[in-house]
Homo-oligomer: A and B are copies of this chain.
Amino acid sequence: MSFSTLLAASAHRVQTRLDTALAALDDEPVIHAMRYACQGGKGLRGFFVLESAALHGISADNAVAAAAAIEAMHAYSLVHDDLPCMDNDALRRGLPTVHRKWDEAVAVLAGDALQSLAFELLTDPALGANRLDLIAGMARAAGARGMVLGQALDIAAETATTPLTLAQITRLQSGKTGALFEWSATAGAVLAGADPAPLGRYAAATGLAFQITDDILDVTGDASKTGKRLGKDAEAGKATFVSLLGLEGAKARAAALIDDAKTALAPYGARADTLILAARFVIARES
């Protein structure tokens, strides 16, 4: 079975759990916007959750609420990042962004409620006794030490007088993308009470490779495939992994990170093959 097929099956399973949670809500525009924002993603973070759970003997049924939670959290971050005061994007996943389809107030509120929903999903008893650790980790990964800090540094970089250095971009991305990647890939170990370190190293390398690939796609990508506006970074004069390392240098760095990701999973042996496929997918994707 190809990785794309595995990913689609996982995404479908996670979407069903998310749909159930969203179906329980009132029939109001902000709820419609929440449902809309949760559609059409690749489902990579949810996949990491289910796969790391499987690695630790936890069934998909007993992990899917955590996978749905991270997809809700990711969807919230995209809705807020797309706002006019942030990245000001009109297109996401090939469709109008939430503030374009509704308005800014609905976008702010839908994002806010998706964050709450993510935490609500993490209280699902099916996740077992260690779900409090997962909640604490999610709060740290999403907040002012993680994703929000990364986004704040990204926004600040747009008005900075000097372009960021490689170290600064790496710090920014480790918050913006890395923190939720790491939470996702370690979720199974946390739920099982196992050592999350190998999966954490895998996620850190894969997350950075993901972001380098985003920068590469911003230059070489096809907007009909990525479903979002491209060439934004060069337009804004922002430093990226491509502007700092060159296109070939960035590709080489991403490939080296995937090797690191593979090495990190050595303790799991062949059982981690699907996660290694996922890491390769991260740098080979066209969207």
Residue numbers of A with Cβ under 8 A of B are 25-26, 28-31, 34, 76, 80, 83, 85-86, 103-106, 108-109, 111-113, 115-117, 119-120, 122-123, 131-132, 135-136, 138-140, 142-145, 148-149, 151-153, 155-156
Q: How far is the CA of A171 from the CA of B86 in the complex (A)?
A: 32
Quickly give the copy total for this chain. Answer: 2
Kindly state the separation between the CA atoms of A29 and B148 in the bound complex, as whole angstroms. 12
Instruction: State whether A135 touches B123 (Cβ < 8 A).
Output: yes
15 further interface pairs, Cβ-Cβ under 8 Å (given A30-B144, A34-B144, A83-B104): A29-B156, A31-B144, A85-B104, A85-B105, A106-B155, A108-B108, A109-B151, A112-B143, A112-B148, A113-B143, A116-B142, A119-B119, A120-B136, A120-B139, A123-B135
Complex Cα distance, B112 from A148, in Å, reads: 7
Question: Residues of B contacting A136 with CB < 8 Å?
Answer: 120, 123
Bound CA span A132–B34, Å? 24
B148 A116 Cβ-Cβ under 8 A: yes
A135 (CB) vs chain B CBs: closest residue: B123
A215 CB to nearest B CB, Å = 21
Q: How far is the CA of A31 from the CA of B17 in the complex (A)?
A: 34
